[in-house]
Amino acid sequence: MGADRVGGVRRPVRAVVYAACGVVLLAGCASMPDSGDLRDVESTPRQDSQLRVFAMPPREDAPPAEIVQGFLEALTSDDPQYATARQYLTGTASGHWQPERSTTVLAGGPDIQVDRATGHDTSHDNSGDYAFTLTGKKVARVDAQQSYTPMRGDYSQPVHLTRDKKSGQWRIDVLPQGVVMGQSDFQRNYMSVNKYYFASNTWADSATSATAVADPVFVRRRVDAMTQVVRSLLSGPTRWLEPAVSSSFPAGTELRRGVTSLAPDDQNRLTVPLNEKASGVGREKCREMATQLLFTLQNLTPTVDTVTLQAGGGTLCSLEGDQPEAVATRGSVKRPDYLYFVDDKKRLVRIAGGGTATSDEPVPGALGEGVQKLQAAAVSWDERTAAGVADDGKSLFVGSLVAGGVLDTPVLQSQGKVEGDRLTVPSWDARGDLWVADRDPARPRLVVLEQGGGQPLDVRVPGLKGRVDAVRVAADGVRIALVVRAENDSKSLLIGRIERDEKAGDRPVVSVRELRSAAPELENVTAMSWAGDSRLVVAGREHGGVQTMRYVQVDGSTPEGPPPAALTGVQSIAAAEDDRSPLVAYSSEDGIVRLPSGAQWQKLINGGLAPVYPG
């Protein structure tokens, strides 16, 4: 919020920058008119991420508009407890204000509009009463659990000021709960971090290994982020993810009383003192707790090599960096052996993973023989089984990837009259179940085949408006990405939570619940793939724009870092959740292309379509 407009001239807010100390002091003393129409209060320009930003307290005899301006700027500082911001409030308002309740993000920052009932020259004002309205366009909201939700629509909240009878100073006595700031200030102040829990009903290949699920939250970047993240992990999963995951920390576990900050020692070991709620856990349970912490902290910073948990006056357990893999698996650490695609003979073929191979070979088994012509395929996470969609899109086949394997009758068939109204590309989950959508207008449905066969289960999708045009299950088996076509033919990317009711009868009831948008700025999604524990890569068209490719988070936020290099005519994308494997795409103009790290798109092979990694 670093500028205001007076008479058409934009004046910068006075600031003192101590670069050597890594400190920026924002003065809350920008000149603003005390009356008039809507005024812009723009977001502070992006600063170096290492700089600390602290606001200045209100100056003596500051007019009401300056008090509001200073307060808004103080919200964007790195003051841990918002102590400076509270100096702009009355004592009663400060006591009731809860900045941790939410953060509302506005495009361009909040504008200050004078309330016409009180908006007049205050240089000789003895009324002791003044009011403004904060307005803007909503972009997102971060709630008390630090969970991000995209938003649209207008923002309008009142701010009321009163003049202190003793000091004569203007102070805010009515204000909205939480924090409000512009998008660029939010990007400077906050960072997204994955905290990790365990899937409740999904198990990886090993019967003793759980599946870790990422739960992204936003924390203040330069306000002891490590301690914030640990506290957030201990408090439990966010409401959206909670029904599908569990935590190994006993209920009520917190940092030990008096522990205000956590930091690794010079051996990159982090010691986490916990309260008495954790003192009775056994060794295996402690290892699970430490696994959650290590996965979470290594997502924040790679410098933490070891976690030691303490409670009850002693050490519970320690876990080093590579040991969590024996406790739980993550999709982002499993590197695929091969990249798969359908060649120009309509066979399923593969290329060795790693990003440099260019020679393909048919997969072992019937799907690689070309007897059954294919248009698309999916390979299980263990790379032992594949599912192929027939060339006409009507039939789904499942076959083993072993030499001599035979192809049985289709496991699913569509009655759609045209190819675009038949089966989508299938997707395997971590349990070994196969997901696919039938786009038949007469009976559109999402189905799952347990272990890739048997009677298909119709999946319940409450709140679905439109038909499913593409399906991709996350490596954790808890979240599913769907491209949904609406009645107006727009196609949006939605993320749902997979729930299984195993007690409903002989067969489970499978549901996808609480669909939410992962790419709200795209109106026509043409391709997508998971590209990390909580990230997807998406090709689509912006509102009124041209096709673009970008990374998105499952919560609808935009991850840090550059987007993939531009590519036209994208019809399918293959991304491994392990980011060491290159991005691969099929373009109607260039065929199958590969994007090595730090390079441009390169043609991978002549002929072929529908590239996929396992999953």
Residue 228: which region, alpha, beta or left (left: phi > 0; alpha: psi -120 to 50)? alpha
Handedness of CA 176, 182, 188, 191 (dihedral sign): positive
- Residues whose CB is less than 8 angstroms from the CB of residue 179 and which lie 6 or more positions away in sequence, other chains included: 75, 82, 99, 102, 103, 104
pLDDT in tens, 82-131: 999 999 999 999 999 999 999 999 999 999 999 865 544 443 445 678 99
Choosing from 310, 329, 348, the residue where a domain stops is: 329
**Tens digits of residue pLDDT in 519-542:** 999 989 999 999 999 999 999 998
Residue 47: strand, helix, or coil: coil
pLDDT (tens digit per residue) in 458-502: 999 999 999 999 999 999 999 999 999 999 999 999 999 999 988
> How many structural domains are present in the chain?
3
Q: Does the structure show a pLDDT above 80 at 20?
A: no
Domain annotation covers residue 193: no
Higher pLDDT, 191 or 28: 191
Domain membership flag for residue 139:
yes
Q: Are residues 132 and 228 in the same domain?
A: no
Backbone angles phi, psi at 608, to 5 degrees: 95, 165
Strand partners, 18: 23
Per residue in 369-380, pLDDT (tens digit) is 999 999 999 999
CA-to-CA separations, 585 to 336, 576, 604, in angstroms, rounded: 16, 12, 10
Nearest one of 138, 173, 142, 144 to 156, comparing CA atoms: 138
Structure-token pair, residue 111:
């504008």
State whether the Cα torsion 318-323-326-330 is positive or negative: positive
The tokens describing 462, both together, are 């409450």
**Do 256 and 170 reside in the same domain of the chain?**
no
Domain annotation covers residue 408: yes
Q: Which amino acid is at 191?
A: M
Nearest CA among 428, 344, 418 for reference residue 384: 428
Structure tokens at 439: 């786009």
Share of the chain above pLDDT 70, in %: 87
> 463 and 580 in one domain?
yes
Judge if 27 and 123 occupy the same domain. yes
> Which of the 8 DSSP states describes residue 452?
G
Q: Which of 329, 360, 382 is the last residue of a domain?
A: 329
pLDDT at 66 over 90: yes
Residue type for 84, please? Answer: T
* CA–CA distance, 178 with 244 (Å, rounded to integer): 29
Rounded distance, CA 79 to CA 43, Å? 17
Average pLDDT over the chain, rounded to an integer: 88
Report residue 316 as tokens. Answer: 């519970």
Question: Which residue reads 């100073």 in tokens?
Answer: 169
Identify the pLDDT of residue 41. 45
Q: For residue 508, tell me if it sits in a domain.
A: yes
Quote the DSSP letter at residue 475.
T
The answer to the question of residue 190 being in a domain is no
Among the residue ranges 40-44, 443-447, 493-497, the one predicted with the least confidence is 40-44
498 in a domain, yes or no? yes
Q: 151-182 burial by CB neighbour count: b if 16+ within 10 A, else e? A: beeebebebbbbbeeeeebbbbbebbebbbbb
Note whether 300 and 350 are same-domain residues: no
End-to-end CA separation in angstroms for the chain: 45
Same domain, 8 and 155: yes
Please check the confidence at residue 141 and state whether its pLDDT lies above 90.
yes
What are the DSSP calls for 173-217, one per residue?
Answer: EE--SSEEEEHHHHHHHEEEEEEEEEEEEEE-SSTT-EEEEEEEE
CA 109/CA 139 separation, integer angstroms: 10
> Which whole-number Å values give the CA distances from 52 to 19, 56, 561, in the listed order?
9, 13, 21
Helix or strand or coil: residue 531?
Answer: coil
pLDDT at 430: 84
Judge residue 196's burial from the number of C-beta atoms within 10 Å of its C-beta, 0-12 exposed, 13-18 middle, 19 or more buried: buried
Q: Give the containing element (helix H, strand E) for 427.
A: strand 427-428
Phi-psi region of 174 (alpha: psi -120 to 50; beta: other; left: phi over 0): beta
- Condensed to tens digits (0 to 9), the pLDDT of residues 159-190 reads 999 999 999 999 999 999 999 999 999 999 99
Query: Which among 285, 303, 329 is the end of a domain?
Result: 329
C-beta separation of 45 from 16 below 8 A: no
pTM of the model: 0.88
In sequence order, the 6+-apart residues with CB closer than 8 A to the CB of 513 are 243, 462, 496, 497, 499
Looking at residue 257, its pLDDT comes to 96
Q: What is the pLDDT of residue 92?
A: 97
Residue 187 lies in a domain: no
Q: Is 37 left (phi over 0), alpha (psi -120 to 50) or beta?
A: beta
Give the confidence band of 544 by pLDDT, cuts at 50, 70, 90: confident
Which pLDDT value is given to residue 428? 96
What the block records as the tokens of 103 is 């953060």
Whole domain around residue 229: which residue ranges?
Answer: 204-329
Which amino acid belongs to residue 502?
Answer: E
165 and 232 housed in the same domain: no
> Do 93 and 81 lie in a common domain?
yes
Average pLDDT of the segment spanning 204-214: 68
Name which of 246, 211, 215, 248 is nearest 232 in CA terms.
Answer: 215
138 and 225 co-located in one domain: no
Are 403 and 545 within one domain? yes
Could you tell me if 302 and 335 lie in one domain?
no
Q: What is the reported pLDDT for 117?
A: 59
How far is residue 434's CA from residue 455's CA, in Å, rounded to a whole number? 12
CA–CA separation, 264 vs 223, rounded Å? 16
pLDDT at position 8 over 90:
no
Q: Is the pLDDT of residue 18 over 70?
A: no
How many helices and strands in the chain, by DSSP H and E?
Answer: 6, 42
Kindly tell me if the per-residue pLDDT of 556 is higher than 80: yes
pLDDT digits (tens, 9 = 90+) for 397-434: 999 999 988 888 999 999 999 999 999 999 999 889 99
CATH number of the domain to which 381 belongs? 2.120.10.30
Residue 184 is encoded by which pair of tokens?
């660029």
CA dist., res. 394 & res. 413, Å (int): 5
Least confident window among 26-30, 346-350, 436-440: 26-30
What is the tens place of the pLDDT at every residue in 274-301? 999 999 899 999 999 999 999 999 989 8
79 with 109, same domain?
yes
pLDDT band at 504 (very low <50, low <70, confident <90, very high): low
Q: Is residue 366 domain-resident?
A: yes
- Average pLDDT of 3-22? 32
Between 340 and 41, where is the model more confident?
Answer: 340
| Contact assessment for residue 56 and residue 88, using Cβ atoms and an 8 Å cutoff | no
Could you tell me if 330 and 534 are in contact, meaning their C-beta atoms sit under 8 angstroms apart? no
The yes-or-no verdict on residue 243 having pLDDT over 50 is: yes
User: What's the pLDDT score for residue 532?
Assistant: 92
Percent of all residues in the chain with a pLDDT value above 90, rounded to a whole number: 75
Count the neighbouring beta carbons within 10 Å of the beta carbon of residue 494: 23
